[in-house]
Amino acid sequence: MSILIKNGVLVTAEEMAEKDILLEGEKIIAVKDEFLSGEIPEKTKIIDTEGKYIFPGIIDAHTHYFMKSPPDNVTADDFYSGSISAAFGGVTTFIDYAEQQKGHSIIEAFINRQEEAKGNAAIDYSLHQSVCSLYHNIKEDLEELKDGGVSSLKLFTTYKEDGSMLDKGNWLELLKMSRDLKLLVTVHAEDDEMIDQIKIKYKDREEFPPYYHTFLRPPEVEYSAIKEIGDMAKLLDMPIYIAHLSSKEGYRALKEIKKNRGKIFAETTPHYLLLTEDLLKKEDAQKYFMTPPLRNKEDNEALWEALKDKYISVIDTDHCSYTTEQKFLSSNCLGILAGIPGSETLLPLAYSYGVGRGYFNVKNMVNLLSTNPAKIFGLYPEKGSLEVGTDADLVIFDPKKEIIISDSGQHTAAGYTPFSGFKVKGYPITTILRGKIIVNNNRFYGERGGGKFLKGKESALY
């Protein structure tokens, strides 16, 4: 089937131009100022997008769909519902996590995660591989993972209680192996030793309401972890990527390492840009609970400035959704399930509050939400571009459409959004995945299993 999208403004990281774009099958086959009638294949569907933007498909480079955690918790969004919600937000690709379990190999985790996603995801996907323990033949397994399409690893500097944290004595070895194989290491950066010392101060407390999360994991623990892992990466002359940068202090660490010529890069999320820790004092505080915790307005502003000054390379979501019933099982900040939904609201929030408030222009937004993640995680130019011959992943975006984000308007299985009540101007109206319209005018036309696994190439950061 052919689709001609005409009269719109094509926006890439490099340019904005009024052009027409022709799709055939799964690919973009031509981009021109205007197509003559004789150049349009018979039975082509023509979409008039006057007054609209055409973006490359958005990439949510940090998601946790169908995530299982001890003892028997599972996120509300599985691969199907999570990817449907994402598609309504203009997302055509997500990058999730294969999580190694103690006593098991990274290959086992990768194979199991592929099986869970296969036949369920409604949009395309790739995988990061988390590493929580080393073993005798792990370098050979890392080579096998790279051949299988994994371009990035995840290292936790905290969460030893649930087995996610890699022992500190093994960080340098993992970094060396990753450098040699040119695998990008991404880091959840919070200093676990500092957190333990802080907890000792509160050892006599019986209750830890949600707001205490900000006391137990203050910005200083982010600063310390970023500095330590960043300096280690600089010593090895390799790139390092910080996940979900949350604070002014974390940004300060990033700048210090960059000033010292370290190859450090970072992502942030809408909740660290737009929400504040005051929400953790509300009666329904659990709905706004994630790790790292929310910060204050000064931190929000620092991260916007970091985006403006191009210290942050990617905006994604860390989508990790639970229903309110799951969230309210505990009111103790040491027991509340951490994570919030976010994939569906990524694009409209970035446009309305980033472009709309002048922190970056629309081309830079495409870079942050699509092109940069595609390059960093080895998916470019098939994803993150509008180049002829690449996958026909596109978003038709109405810059004038105004809505108030609401729980009822979302498609996540969580049943709520932490951004309820936020006003946005600019919204995706059509999502196209490899030449097929999967969302149009708030209706889903895709299918379970319509997404495919994407093999990542070497990161552009090497």
pLDDT in tens, 52-107: 999 999 999 999 999 998 889 999 999 999 999 999 999 999 999 999 999 999 99
Give helix 219-235 / helix 248-259 axis angle, nearest 10°.
Answer: 20
Quick one: pLDDT at residue 69? 87
CA dist 286 and 210 (Å) reads 7
For position 110, what pLDDT does the model report?
98
pTM of the predicted model as reported, rounded to 2 decimal places: 0.98
Summarize pLDDT for 149-166 with one digit per residue, the tens: 999 999 999 999 889 999
The confidence score (pLDDT) of residue 301 equals 98
Q: Determine the pLDDT at residue 70.
A: 83
Sheet with strand 184-188: strands edge to edge: 58-60, 91-99, 124-130, 152-156, 184-188, 240-242, 264-268, 314-315
Beta pairing, strands 68-69 & 20-24? unpaired
* CA distances for 313 relative to 71, 154, 229, 380, angstroms: 35, 17, 18, 15
Q: Under a CB-based contact definition with an 8 Å cutoff, are residues 211 and 281 in contact?
A: yes
What pLDDT digit, counting tens, does each position of 395-451 carry?
999 999 999 999 999 999 999 999 999 999 999 999 999 999 999 999 999 999 999
Element (H, E) at 9: strand 9-11
Kindly list the structural domains of the chain, giving each domain's residue range(s) and its CATH number in brackets, ordered by start: 57-376 (3.20.20.140)
Q: Using the predicted structure, report yes or no on whether residue 1 has a pLDDT greater than 90.
A: no
End-to-end CA distance of the chain: 38
- Position 203 pLDDT exceeds 90: no
Average pLDDT, the chain: 97
How high is the pLDDT of residue 71? 86
- 17's enclosing H/E stretch is strand 16-18
Q: What is the SS3 assignment for 58?
A: strand
